Chains A and B, each alone.
Chain A
Amino acid sequence: MTTWSAPIWLYLWLAGMAGGAYFAAFLAERFTGNGNGQLLRIATYLGAPLAVVGVILLVADLGNPIRFWHLLTVFKAVSPMSIGTWILLIWIGVAVVMAILWWAEASLSQEAGRGLRQITGALSWIGFVFAILVMAYTGVLLATSSQPLWTGTLLLPALFVASAVSTGVAMLIISGATGRTRLVPGKMVSRLAEADAILIVVELVVLVGYAIWLSASSTAGTSEALALLTSGALALPFWLGVVLLALLIPLGLEFASWGKKLETGGVWRTVITSSVFVILGGLILRAVIVIGGQI
């Protein structure tokens, strides 16, 4: 009898990817300073609908979906689900307003457009802060419970954030590098792929830390929970889906194409393949953790 099933792990995956893509696009454009906003637009236009689909899944999974509005009558700082409701609402709201302003800007004169651009610029900072919270909250939600796999360490939010940014970058790479007209310059895509390689290393380190912490924890049930992943019922999806598909294979592929021009040889194909693996692996990670915590 599982309390949180497929809609929940699908949601964790979608919301993480949406927040991660926004986070990555925002930083990439702020740091280069010459962002034409194209990457952030892609992240927003794809991320907001993904988050909305996630929210629909969450509501559908409630025992009483019609009562979902009860969530909006309460703000409770100690309950991650209550906080998360508001985080999601605000982030989606900011993204929608930004999309509308971008759309309005395109139909305005240069002069009038400047004012709108300043508003979207300020909003994009709010969006950035809330994108971080969207990514972090999914891990905090699980970690604030009594299931040893989730509560045994302080690293589950870290693991989910690392995976969220990694899958978000992968989504940007795929949307930027495919299609008849390239939406994002090849150089940007190459750098995103390199960033993803480093992110995967970060995620790998966090995952190893998480496993060591679980095995060393004195909390009852943590070593059994870890064994479930490494040698128990979930060993196959864990080793094949998470370790190989989400981490080791993309890591190899990204480093193989490191520094190479996207247009040369099979580099383009390698980067896309690796990104698809990262996204699928991110889904399997959420599924393994959500299912594993309830066995």
Chain B
Amino acid sequence: MPKARLIDTSKCTACRGCQVACKQWNELPAEETKQLGTYENPPHLSGNTWIKVEFRERPGEWLFRAHTCMHCVDASCEKVCPTGAISHQGEVVLIDQKQCIGCGYCVLACPYNVPHRDEITGTARKCTFCIDRIGNGLEPACAKTCPPGAIKFGERADLIAMAEQRVQTLISDYGYPNANVYGADELGGLHTIYVLTERPSALGLPETPEVATSTVLAQWLSGVVTAGVLAALPFWLLFKRKKQIEAEQKSKVEGGVR
């Protein structure tokens, strides 16, 4: 049975314990940060920051969402990777640091803007789902540390059931009419499931994420047809057709002389 991680945004207090735990377990260096006017820090995910609590402010309320790898079944990063450095190990999407050439394609292909190129290693890096922990029966560092229990790790099916129940409670008892579960079906099923208090777009998630390669055949067709038809047309008109017309005129003139 596949495991998953559940992030309940209604329980998140933005303590950023997950950020610290992730850095400690994975031995990731600190970042030079910037004052953003809130406690939100660092500004975005990077090659050295694999989970980060995003802050969104609206009148009277903060919306918090821990941003990290979704470990998609249909993972865009894995599909576009030109060297096969990105692969699934069970439910985990992993970047092989010895294979990665640092082309940056996964960075631009991910619908969630998760992998980033690290300037020091020159490779793309992101959340590994603490594969070295979960492989030994432990939970990921972020889930282990989360004080309000907003991040949970367990059987995917159980977590989805738990999330649906929580959403019902949020709608009926806590006044969140837009609460919803995100990740049960998106991109073939995500292994980071969210309980969201608002629509996905209000929390910085795409409402209908698409795999980067979903239109790749049509895109090839677009380029090849343009070359074969539209771009070839002027040459046919000016070089072939014109020559034929000239030849016809020439034969007419010759016919007249005779």
Report A's interface with B, CB cutoff 8 A.
Answer: 1, 3-4, 23-24, 27-28, 31-33, 62-64, 67-68, 70-71, 73-74, 76, 78-82, 85, 132-133, 135-137, 139-140, 143-147, 151, 154-158, 160-162, 165, 191, 194-196, 198-199, 202, 206, 219-220, 293-294
Q: Chain B interface residue count: which class?
A: 35 or more
Query: Could you list 12 examples of A-B contacts with CB < 8 Å?
Result: A24-B235, A31-B235, A31-B243, A64-B100, A68-B101, A74-B83, A81-B82, A136-B220, A140-B219, A157-B226, A161-B226, A198-B233
A141 — nearest CB in chain B belongs to which residue?
B105
Bitwise, B221-251 to A at CB < 8 A (1) or not (0) is 1111111101111111111101100000000
Instruction: List the one stretch of B3-11, B120-128, B130-138, B165-173 in contact with chain A.
Output: B120-128
A138 — nearest CB in chain B belongs to which residue?
B223
Q: Is the interface of B mostly helix, strand, loop or mixed?
A: helix
A63 touches B103 (CB 8 A): yes
A72 — nearest CB in chain B belongs to which residue?
B83
CB-CB < 8 A to A154: which residues of B?
A: 215, 218-219, 221-222
CB-CB < 8 A to A147: which residues of B?
A: 108
A206/B239 contact (C-beta < 8 A), A23-B231, A80-B216, A140-B216 known = no
* Nearest CB on B from A153, distance (A): 9
A84 — nearest CB in chain B belongs to which residue?
B82
B113 — nearest CB in chain A belongs to which residue?
A146
B102 touches A27 (CB 8 A): no
Most buried by A among B82, B219, B231: B231
Rounded to whole angstroms, the CA-CA distance of A160 and B222 in the bound complex is 10
B108 — nearest CB in chain A belongs to which residue?
A145
Bitwise, B64-108 to A at CB < 8 A (1) or not (0) is 000000000000100111111100000000000001111111011
A78 touches B101 (CB 8 A): no
8 smallest beta-carbon distances between A and B, as pairs = A63-B102, A136-B223, A157-B223, A63-B122, A31-B239, A198-B234, A31-B240, A81-B82
Within 8 Å of chain A (Cβ to Cβ): is B140? no
A144 touches B215 (CB 8 A): yes
A161/B223 contact (C-beta < 8 A), A3-B104, A3-B117 known = yes
CB-CB < 8 A to B213: which residues of A?
A: 78-79, 144
Most buried by A among B76, B219, B237: B219
Rounded to whole angstroms, the CA-CA distance of A254 and B43 in the bound complex is 50
Rounded to whole angstroms, the CA-CA distance of A133 and B219 in the bound complex is 12
A157/B222 contact (C-beta < 8 A), A62-B101, A79-B80 known = yes
* Nearest CB on B from A24, distance (A): 7
A74 touches B224 (CB 8 A): no
Contact of A132 among B123, B210, B224, B236 (CB under 8 A): B224
* Nearest CB on A from B134, distance (A): 27
A161 touches B231 (CB 8 A): yes
Rounded to whole angstroms, the CA-CA distance of A78 and B85 in the bound complex is 14
* Nearest CB on B from A111, distance (A): 30
A165 touches B231 (CB 8 A): yes
A73 touches B243 (CB 8 A): no
Rounded to whole angstroms, the CA-CA distance of A30 and B219 in the bound complex is 28
13 additional contacts, CB 8 Å, given A63-B123, A145-B212? A27-B235, A31-B240, A63-B121, A64-B122, A78-B216, A79-B213, A82-B83, A140-B223, A144-B109, A146-B76, A156-B219, A156-B222, A158-B225
B230 touches A202 (CB 8 A): yes
CB-CB < 8 A to B123: which residues of A?
A: 63-64
A151 touches B212 (CB 8 A): yes
* Nearest CB on B from A191, distance (A): 5
CB-CB < 8 A to A62: which residues of B?
A: 101-103, 122
B219 touches A143 (CB 8 A): yes
Rounded to whole angstroms, the CA-CA distance of A195 and B228 in the bound complex is 15
B218 touches A165 (CB 8 A): no
A63/B222 contact (C-beta < 8 A), A27-B235, A220-B201 known = no
CB-CB < 8 A to B188: which residues of A?
A: none
Most buried by A among B80, B85, B228, B240: B80
B110 touches A146 (CB 8 A): yes
CB-CB < 8 A to B235: which residues of A?
A: 24, 27-28, 31, 195
CB-CB < 8 A to A78: which residues of B?
A: 79-80, 213, 216
CB-CB < 8 A to A33: which residues of B?
A: 243
A144 touches B227 (CB 8 A): no
Rounded to whole angstroms, the CA-CA distance of A199 and B237 in the bound complex is 12
Contact of A144 among B46, B116, B219, B237 (CB under 8 A): B219
Within 8 Å of chain A (Cβ to Cβ): is B148? no
Rounded to whole angstroms, the CA-CA distance of A194 and B107 in the bound complex is 42
A82 — nearest CB in chain B belongs to which residue?
B82
B101 touches A63 (CB 8 A): yes
Rounded to whole angstroms, the CA-CA distance of A28 and B235 in the bound complex is 6
Within 8 Å of chain A (Cβ to Cβ): is B177? no
Within 8 Å of chain A (Cβ to Cβ): is B149? no
